[in-house]
Structure 1
Amino acid sequence: MRLTNAPEPAKTSIDAAARIAPKRDPETLAIKRRARVDQQTESPASARPSHWRPDIEGLRALAVGAVIAAHIGFPYMAGGFVGVDVFFVISGFLITSLLLREIDKTGTVSIAGFYARRAVRLLPAAATVLLATLWAAWLWLPRTRLGEIAADAAAAALNIINLRLAQEGTDYLNAEVPPSPLQHFWSLAVEEQFYIVWPLVLLAIAFLGTKFGRPGKFTAARHRNRGPGRTLAITAFLVIAGGVSFWMSAAWTAGDPVWSYFGIHTRAWELAVGALIAVAAGGIRAHAPKWAAALASWAGLALITASVFILDEHTVFPGTAALLPVAGCALVIAAGCAPHRFGAQSLLGIRPAQFVGKISYGLYLWHWPLIMIGPAVMGLEEVRLRHYLLLMAVAFLLTIATFYLVENPIRTKRPLVQVPSRALAMGGGLITAMLAVSLLMVQQPMPAEENGEAAEITGDDSTVWEMIGESSDVESVPANITPSLDDAGTDEPALYADGCVSGREGTDLAENCVFGDPEGSKTIVLFGDSHAAQWFPAFNQLAEASGWQLLPFAKANCSVSVAIEHDNQLGRRYTECEEWKEKAFAEIERIEPDVVVTSAYDNKEILADDPDAAWADGWAESLDRLDDAADEVYYLADSANPPGDTPACLAEHTDNVTACVVDVEQATTRPERRALAIETIEAETDATVVDPIPWMCDMENDTCPVVVGNLLVYRDANHLSPRFVAELTPQVAAAIPLEAQHADAR
């Protein structure tokens, strides 16, 4: 995230040699010029150049402080995530300024030199934090999470973690998985993806300007000699690319918030804004009144500060809301091109802000892993603000150590900064090391593999129903647990792979989703969200055996109740659910099924003054409508859901499974809401209520086991595993009987 204001050293031996050397061929002179630029870029911080900007260093401190405040839940600062947007604008300005100075001095852009500088500056600290995070995750986080974290580490090393997070974030079944301790690397990936293209564009413009245009300079000092064609081409590219990116951000964020948040396509305009200021810096310095620049700097600082307090987790972001911090940062940086002693630099330039700004890159890298892993290291189940403040103090100490022992020594090491090939080789070595450690981490065996095996539940000689009563006292996770703890998170019912569960953003019904007996003369509909879809294995077996068609109508996080829902991932009213649900009702009314079974997760955020009452009344209204279309309607109440991620808990307690077993009340999600919904449905509708909790909990001992025989009961934090559900088919058949349809009857 941090890009150092490139310092300018004293005259070097290369400078002296250039003054006294005889005339050389153009190629040799070009090489020397590029070497001089590389040296000037990577010289010690003590030799500050004239273009060093204390206000930008202060902005870095403000940005990283805002991000940390938001992440630790500091009161009233939920919008601190805008600090990332401030970093984007700063990066766009500094990198573009650096590239323009290089074109000034050499007439071209050294692509190898550019990426060598990026590698020397960013990779050592990033690799240190990434490898330390992998080590800490291996020591203190559940074994079930290591595969995902290792994949995140590989993606971070390759600068594509934002794409991975966007893809994972659209998976509804991953919604309750804790964030990755490497998630914050997404912003670095966005920057690097932008800089894959930007130097090449400037190189092409410089080449064309040299070949077809008049020589021109980009420096402020020689602004009048700048080639107007080059400046116009650069400005045009930034305006067009930035404009398209901003349009995408404004138009697509509400409908596709995850990809919009993590994607380069909706963030590039923020870097482009910083780049445009770099192009215009000379003109601002020459013509902007200093009093106006001072006012603009304070206005910009006020906009950034306001965005931290005004925006929150419910804001549709980035979208147009990102204009607030981006415009604020742009004003501060632009005003700093014509500094005034009464401008915001007087505040941003104070020593504490300068020091924090100097180490802001490392502080950004360290803070998030400590937030995600620190509580586990401290053995905390409930983390409070004081604990996070203590962890941030640790992050500050680690940052200082990383800066002085790793980051600063390597980025000023002359053998690296003077020879791009060496820096690139170092970068390649660090990336290879990160990938190798990630791969090694995935290969570590699950501790449960060393335990004994349990008797397999076959459905004939042994059944889930027979073994529920003796399963709460199981001590060890069996080595043959099915699915394995490693694979539990991806063990989904078959209708997901068949594309028969609509995603969050979709509003159309899935097509070609006919299960059971496709030629059956009677039809059963399974209608609801993922907690309805989890029952698919049992209903599919039942429909096949009875000769019925099974039609699933399922959508992520979308219940059957007509109560208005708020989707936390989308950050707004779940209008896609309402539209999809209306289509589902219409299709069910058209086909007039024999049986409709409905179910949904009780833990929904309902937009109403009395959410529980609205939820129950919404169910009654929906079931009445379904009763008009179908012969029989069933309300399958929500299943038991032990708090926390069951596979993760078992991975931590492979020899003490009882630590993951809870009583029935603890396993009931929103018990008051659940009871009210059942009471309302029984009193106001003709639907039949079926309570599945006795199928998976030992009601006599008031416990809900998590391992039955060799079967894992829960695949994640709240979904039953498909194999366990399949073994409950006899219980489902007893509660919701389907008349057998024989071939001669059809």
Structure 2
Amino acid sequence: MLAFPRPASSAFYRPDIDGLRAIAVLSVIAYHIGVPGLPGGFVGVDIFFVLSGFLISGLLRQELLATGSLGFAAFFARRIRRLGPALMLVTLVTLLAGYMVLLPDAANTLGREARAVVTLSANHHFMKHAFDYFNTATDLKPLLHTWSLAVEEQYYLLWPLLMLGAYRAGGGEKALRPTLLAVLLLSFAACLSLSYSDMPKAFYLMPARAWEFAAGGLLAWLPLRHSRSAWHANALAGGGLAILLCSIVLLDEHSMVFPGWVVLLPVCGTLLVLAAGGLDPHHAPGRLLGSRWFTALGLLSYSWYLWHQPLLALGRYYDVGQRDLLRDFLLGGVLALFLAWLTYCLVEQPVRQRRWRCFATDKSTLWAGLAMSVLVWLVASAAMYMPKKYPWPGYQAILQVKQDQAQLPPGCDMPERGVPLSPQASCRIGPAHAPLQLLAWGDSHTDHAMPMYQLLAQAQGVGILRRAYHGCPPLVDAVPVGEGKVRSWCLNHSRAVMAELASLSRSGLHGVLMNVRWNGYTALPVAGSASITGLAQADAQGNVAVAGAMLAGVGQLDRAHSLQVMAASLDRVASQLAALRLKLVLLAPEPEMPLSVPECLARRGAAACHASRADVDRQRAAILPILQQVASRHANVRVWDPIARFCDAQTCYAAAAGVVRYQDQNHLTASMSRTLQADFAPLFSWARQP
């Protein structure tokens, strides 16, 4: 039956807890929508963690004291009834919608995310593939928010076992609080350590978040007695709400380390409000939190949380990755809340009240949970591969452009650690028996120049060795740092290539062609960036000295310092190549477009997809002088600038003369790359001569 959500009548029910859930879900969703003035809304997840620990640890303690044991089947059946059906529904609907909205590669990624959801490993998946939760690229990940559900369920797979073991080994209740306190202290220490060394791990991993659940659980086990003075409860609750409000309004992921020390604010604020309810259930702030609208939103919070991120991500993906406050409010706010209400009435409540036969008993619920997981796994697996074979009608024009890319040598891989280099025979282009005279070295922009190189290699009878590693600049003493990671694999790869060049120079290699997306490594959030990444100086052993938690764009990883490191390191590469009697051609940066071109052309028309020449000149303003200065200092270096082939005085064109120039925002199509061969031919010929 559809009705206004109302809490179940119970002597133990605390409406202020549903009010806290409302604050948590409102802050998270407002943050994801992009509501101005709430930069710290992401702390709503921390509020949820504390509330979960408070409620579930309290229930487990009651069961232990009453029976001396824990019913694991009943516990996990309750978890499945609480979380499983709604999660399955949202995941399946997201996969179906993803087939209609996403391009095949993105649909494949969504299928992998869905499989991680049902194996309770979404946090590990996103730590590996999303890196930085605060990165704008996460706007387009429909199931990103399930990382928090994975953390919670991983905690509750272990915590009941630890409780029971401590209870029996320690002689009863007296062992429970020390055990919980130990979990809290050890986990918080891990959280702080990782926050300042490997921030994604601190954010995503359960051991670094367990202390938040433990803090709520420890409060549930404290002997709070009702206070005779309402003043105590009012002060605690008022202070707690003030701390939560300050956390939501003042915290900012761009200027702090998170979780770090600052996560204490939302955790302590939540604990204070919960403690106030234990002292006096009728305190004034509690009556506000327990009002009808707050409790209704609290009851809908789980389903609302589930629905909002898929709707936001799919809407933004269809709109070429752009945020729009009104659209996002309607999708993630209004529509998601309506779907949450339907889900609560038609799925959550019937399941929790055991009106569906498959959830009537604990045993049947466990089997139902397994069946739901298998079903989602199978549908997700189909979603990974079906769209590529049977794409959604109407996407053919976009896919045709996306597939207009370089045909790279098979077996020329990018190993996880950057080394060992693939065999030279697997990375050669050009005529089969042509002498190896050039090496193409760089990142993914080297690969989009390969069609041009291939034509010139065939025409001039030259062999070219490909040494490209995406996301890595060809520098031997500078390391990209960002997303909470030091890309040490880039340094490994570059140093291996330089060592290889020493031997190749003795066997007929004459030149190096270098095309690199330099702005992607110099702390500039350019169009299409996955994140802000800076360059750090590396010593002979590959070590870098970077302060704090490696926040790119700040301190030693800011724009000015990264440009300095780039200029000095590139100059040293030029010197090393000169010592090897090798020439170097530096390709100047191609213009980057404001939106992904194939989707933009299909959905917005060509006029919306071009870039202004003034914007492109600003993109290149810091990089081009560095390349020119390196060339002026070294006789073996020249710079080739293709800007005239892309731009006139006012506009840089995403497509022209029937040729779509870009696969996305910054990678050229193979068709466009081939059109540049005549312009590049003189420098190509220069580079291959002794």
* TM-score, normalised by the number of residues in structure 1: 0.69
Contact 1:77/1:308, CA 8 A, preserved across alignment? yes
Contact 2:27/2:38, CA 8 A, preserved across alignment? yes
Aligned match of 1:672 = 618
**Amino acid corresponding to residue 47 of structure 1 in structure 2:** S
Contact 2:243/2:266, CA 8 A, preserved across alignment? yes
- Taking the aligned partners of 1:305 and 1:450, their CA distance within structure 2 comes to 45
Q: 1:406 to 1:584 in 2, by over 3 A?
A: same
Verify: 1:323 aligned to 2:241, yes or no. Answer: no
Contact 1:150/1:439, CA 8 A, preserved across alignment? yes
* CA displacement 1:186-215 (0-9 Å, x = unmatched): 111111111111122223344546xxx4xx
Aligned match of 1:17 = none
| C-alpha displacement of 1:82 | 0.5
- Taking the aligned partners of 1:412 and 1:196, their CA distance within structure 2 comes to 24
Aligned match of 1:297 = 237
Aligned match of 2:23 = 62
Verify: 1:600 aligned to 2:517, yes or no. Answer: yes
Given the alignment, which residue of 25, 28, 48 partners 1:87?
48
Aligned match of 1:152 = 113
| C-alpha displacement of 1:135 | 2.6
Given the alignment, which residue of 209, 213, 219 partners 1:267?
209
Aligned match of 2:57 = 96
**Amino acid corresponding to residue 235 of structure 1 in structure 2:** R
Aligned match of 1:634 = 585
Verify: 1:428 aligned to 2:370, yes or no. Answer: yes
Q: 1:490 to 1:331 in 2, by over 3 A?
A: farther
* CA displacement 1:16-57 (0-9 Å, x = unmatched): xxxxxxxxxxxxxxxxxxxxxxxxxxxx9533133x222211
My pick for the range that moved more, 357-366 or 283-292, is 283-292
Aligned match of 1:466 = none
**Amino acid corresponding to residue 691 of structure 1 in structure 2:** D
**Amino acid corresponding to residue 249 of structure 2 in structure 1:** F
Aligned match of 2:300 = 359
| C-alpha displacement of 1:678 | 2.9
**Amino acid corresponding to residue 630 of structure 1 in structure 2:** L
- Taking the aligned partners of 2:74 and 2:684, their CA distance within structure 1 comes to 70
Q: 1:425 to 1:97 in 2, by over 3 A?
A: same
Q: 1:450 to 1:126 in 2, by over 3 A?
A: closer
Contact 1:641/1:667, CA 8 A, preserved across alignment? no
Q: 1:702 to 1:192 in 2, by over 3 A?
A: closer
Q: 1:202 to 1:400 in 2, by over 3 A?
A: same
**Amino acid corresponding to residue 253 of structure 1 in structure 2:** S
* CA displacement 1:408-436 (0-9 Å, x = unmatched): 12211266666201222332333333233
| C-alpha displacement of 1:112 | 0.8
Q: 1:620 to 1:420 in 2, by over 3 A?
A: closer
- Taking the aligned partners of 2:597 and 2:128, their CA distance within structure 1 comes to 24
- Taking the aligned partners of 1:183 and 1:114, their CA distance within structure 2 comes to 26
Verify: 1:112 aligned to 2:54, yes or no. Answer: no
Where does 1:130-145 land on structure 2 (aligned, <5 Å)? Answer: 130-145=91-106
- Taking the aligned partners of 1:499 and 1:493, their CA distance within structure 2 comes to 17
| Aligned-partner SS, 2:18 | helix
Aligned match of 1:13 = none
- Percent of paired sites with the same residue: 29
**Amino acid corresponding to residue 519 of structure 2 in structure 1:** D
| C-alpha displacement of 1:376 | 6.7
Contact 1:298/1:344, CA 8 A, preserved across alignment? yes
Given the alignment, which residue of 419, 427, 434 partners 2:361?
419
Given the alignment, which residue of 666, 671, 687 partners 1:718?
666
Where does 1:163-562 land on structure 2 (aligned, <5 Å)? Answer: 163-170=124-131, 176=137, 179-208=140-169, 213=171, 227=172, 230-232=173-175, 234-280=176-222, 283-285=223-225, 291-314=231-254, 315-339=256-280, 341-342=282-283, 344-374=285-315, 383-391=323-331, 392-413=333-354, 419-446=361-388, 477=397, 496-499=413-416, 501=418, 510=419, 515=424, 529-532=443-446, 556=471
Q: 1:86 to 1:249 in 2, by over 3 A?
A: same
- Taking the aligned partners of 1:76 and 1:319, their CA distance within structure 2 comes to 22
- Taking the aligned partners of 2:40 and 2:16, their CA distance within structure 1 comes to 22
- Taking the aligned partners of 2:55 and 2:296, their CA distance within structure 1 comes to 18
| Aligned-partner SS, 1:76 | coil
Aligned match of 1:688 = 638
**Amino acid corresponding to residue 92 of structure 1 in structure 2:** G
- Taking the aligned partners of 1:198 and 1:321, their CA distance within structure 2 comes to 25
RMSD: 5.1
My pick for the range that moved more, 419-428 or 668-677, is 668-677
| C-alpha displacement of 1:526 | 6.1
Contact 1:612/1:673, CA 8 A, preserved across alignment? no
**Amino acid corresponding to residue 605 of structure 1 in structure 2:** A
Contact 2:444/2:470, CA 8 A, preserved across alignment? yes
| C-alpha displacement of 1:356 | 1.1
Q: 1:142 to 1:660 in 2, by over 3 A?
A: farther
Q: 1:512 to 1:352 in 2, by over 3 A?
A: same
* CA displacement 1:103-125 (0-9 Å, x = unmatched): 23322111111111111111222
**Amino acid corresponding to residue 135 of structure 1 in structure 2:** L
- Taking the aligned partners of 1:491 and 1:164, their CA distance within structure 2 comes to 28
- Taking the aligned partners of 1:64 and 1:727, their CA distance within structure 2 comes to 52
* CA displacement 1:501-551 (0-9 Å, x = unmatched): 5xxxxxxxx565784799x99997766554356657987996998678877
**Amino acid corresponding to residue 10 of structure 2 in structure 1:** R
**Amino acid corresponding to residue 275 of structure 2 in structure 1:** A
Contact 1:61/1:357, CA 8 A, preserved across alignment? yes
Where does 1:12-91 land on structure 2 (aligned, <5 Å)? Answer: 45-50=7-12, 52-91=13-52
Q: 1:673 to 1:258 in 2, by over 3 A?
A: same
| C-alpha displacement of 1:66 | 0.7
| C-alpha displacement of 1:72 | 1.2
**Amino acid corresponding to residue 311 of structure 1 in structure 2:** L
Verify: 1:161 aligned to 2:108, yes or no. Answer: no
Contact 1:169/1:175, CA 8 A, preserved across alignment? no
| Aligned-partner SS, 1:670 | helix
**Amino acid corresponding to residue 165 of structure 2 in structure 1:** A
| C-alpha displacement of 1:77 | 0.7
- Taking the aligned partners of 1:559 and 1:304, their CA distance within structure 2 comes to 46
| C-alpha displacement of 1:577 | 8.6
| C-alpha displacement of 1:153 | 2.0
Q: 1:492 to 1:666 in 2, by over 3 A?
A: farther
* CA displacement 1:245-295 (0-9 Å, x = unmatched): 222221123433333322212212211211222222xx2237998644443
Contact 1:253/1:318, CA 8 A, preserved across alignment? yes
**Amino acid corresponding to residue 421 of structure 1 in structure 2:** K
- Taking the aligned partners of 1:532 and 1:71, their CA distance within structure 2 comes to 35
- Taking the aligned partners of 1:565 and 1:265, their CA distance within structure 2 comes to 28
- Unpaired runs of 5+ residues, structure 2, are 1-5, 429-433, 525-552
Where does 1:1-16 land on structure 2 (aligned, <5 Å)? Answer: none
Q: 1:289 to 1:242 in 2, by over 3 A?
A: farther
Q: 1:659 to 1:560 in 2, by over 3 A?
A: farther
| Aligned-partner SS, 1:630 | helix
| Aligned-partner SS, 1:689 | strand
